[in-house]
Homo-oligomer: A and B are copies of this chain.
Amino acid sequence: MSQSSATGLPPVAASNRLTASAAMTAFVLGIDVGGTKTAAVLFDEADRPVGRAQVVTPRRGLTDAVIDAAREALAQVPVGAGRLVGVGIAAPGQIDVAGGRIRQAVNLEEGELPIAGMVQTALGVPCFVEHDARAAAAWLFESPPDKDDYRMTHIAYLSMGTGISAGIVLDGVPVRGAAGLAGEIGHVSADPNGPSCGCGLRGCLEAVAAGPAIERRGRAAVEAGQTTMLADGPVTAEAVFRAAAAGDPVAASIATEVGAHVARAVRALVLMFGLERVYIGGGVVASGDAFIEPIERELERERASSSLIRHAVPAGVIRVVPGDTDPVAHGAAVIARAGIARMRPRMGP
C-alpha cells in the first residue's frame, strides 16, 4: 500500500489511463492464462478486440504477469476512449469460481492462487476466474461462429494443445462439476494398453493425442529409422501434420491414429452429454485439414457401421474454431461481463 495515490484508489488503478477518463465505452479485459503464454485482450462492448498484450507465463508470480499484460493491453487504447469495467481470467486446472482461485494447474507451480482478488485490488475493477475451456465454451455458446448454431442448446469446446480438456454447456448452463473439475477428458482412457501419461496413468487421451504425444510419436518413427521427411527437421506436432499433408506415409499413419482417438473422444462427449455441436480449438488445430480430416474420416466410418452413431453423432457435429480467433480470451471477457451482470441490482419482479 506504500504506493497508494492521493485519490484513495488502489495503486495500480490510479495508473490505469482508462479509469481516469470520461466514460464512453465499457471495456472488459479477457485474460487467457496458457501453459506457455499469457495473453490479455481488451474488448469493447461489441466484443471486438481493441488492445492485446502477451507475456511468458512464469512458473511463479503469475498474478504480476497477468497485471503487467493487462496494463499493456489497456495502454493501447487512447485516453478518453472509455473505461475498464471488469476483468475475466481463464486458466487451466481446477478453478474455484466462487472463491476466485486457481488450483491444481499442472503447468503452474503455485498450489492455490487467489488471483481474482489480487487482480481486482490491482486494477480497481471486479475480476472473475473460470476454467479456460469452459470460458471458451461459454463464448461459443453466446456467439457461435456459424449463425445456425444460435439454436443449439448443448455444446462443447474441445481444447487440444499441450493438454486436452473440454468445456461443456448444457441447456445454456456451463458444467463445472462439484469441485470445478468437470470436462477433464484429457485423462479419460483412450486405450487401456496405451503409453504412460504425465498424470501417472497410462493410455489417457492426452497421452495419445495431445501435442507432446504427437511429437513423441514422430520422434520415435525417426529414431526407429523409418523413411520419413520428419527426419529432415525438428519434429513437432505441426511438422507431423505438415508431412502428412505432403503425403508422407509415416506421418499420415500417425495423423490417422490421432484422428481415430479424437473421433472416439468426440463420440464420448456427444453420447455422454447429449451434445449437438463440438467445437475443436487449441494449438494442434492450427494444423488445419491434416488434423481434422482423419477425425472426420473415422467418424464417417463409425456412421457407416452404426445407426446409433448416424443418429446421435451426425455429420457436421464438429466445427473447427478458426485459428485467427481466440476463444479463450473471448471466453474470459464473457465471464467478466456475466460476473458484472450478477453484481448489479436486479429489476423488480
Contacts and interface: CB of A to CB of B under 8 A. Distances in A.
Interface of A: 104, 152-154, 166, 168, 170, 175-185, 187-193, 199-201, 260-261, 264, 267-269, 271-276, 302, 305-309, 311-312, 349
Contact of A268 (B152, B177, B189): B189
Given A170-B175, A274-B179, A309 B268 contact: no
Contact of A200 (B178, B307, B349): B307
Given A179-B276, A200-B305, 8 more contacts: A166-B272, A170-B170, A178-B274, A181-B274, A182-B272, A187-B308, A200-B307, A268-B272
**Residue of A184, A307, A349 ringed by the most chain B CB atoms within 10 A:** A184
Contacts of A272: 166, 168, 182-185, 188, 268-269, 272-273
A311 B94 CA distance: 11
B273 A175 contact: yes
Nearest to A265: B189
Given A188-B268, A191-B192, A192-B260, A201 B305 contact: yes
Contact of A274 (B182, B189, B201, B349): B182
Nearest to A302: B201
Given A192-B191, A260-B192, A349-B349, A271 B181 contact: yes
A275 B260 CA distance: 27
Contacts of A177: 154, 170, 273-275
Contact of A178 (B104, B178, B275): B275
Contacts of A201: 302, 305-306, 308-309
B260 A180 contact: no
A267 B188 CA distance: 7
Nearest to A349: B349
Nearest to A155: B178
For this chain, the copies found in one complex come to 2
Contacts of A185: 271-272
15 contacts: A153-B178, A154-B178, A170-B170, A170-B177, A177-B274, A177-B275, A178-B276, A182-B272, A182-B273, A184-B308, A188-B272, A189-B264, A199-B306, A201-B308, A272-B272
Those 7 A-B pairs whose CB atoms lie nearest each other, nearest first:
A177-B274, A182-B274, A200-B306, A154-B178, A184-B271, A200-B305, A189-B264
Contacts of A187: 267, 271, 306, 308-309
A275 B181 CA distance: 9
A269 B191 CA distance: 16
A264 B192 contact: yes
Nearest to A106: B308
Nearest to A311: B104
Contacts of A183: 272, 274
A312 B187 CA distance: 11
Contact of A152 (B168, B178, B275, B307): B178
A10 to B, nearest CB: 34
Nearest to A103: B311
A315 to B, nearest CB: 16
Nearest to A268: B188
Nearest to A263: B189
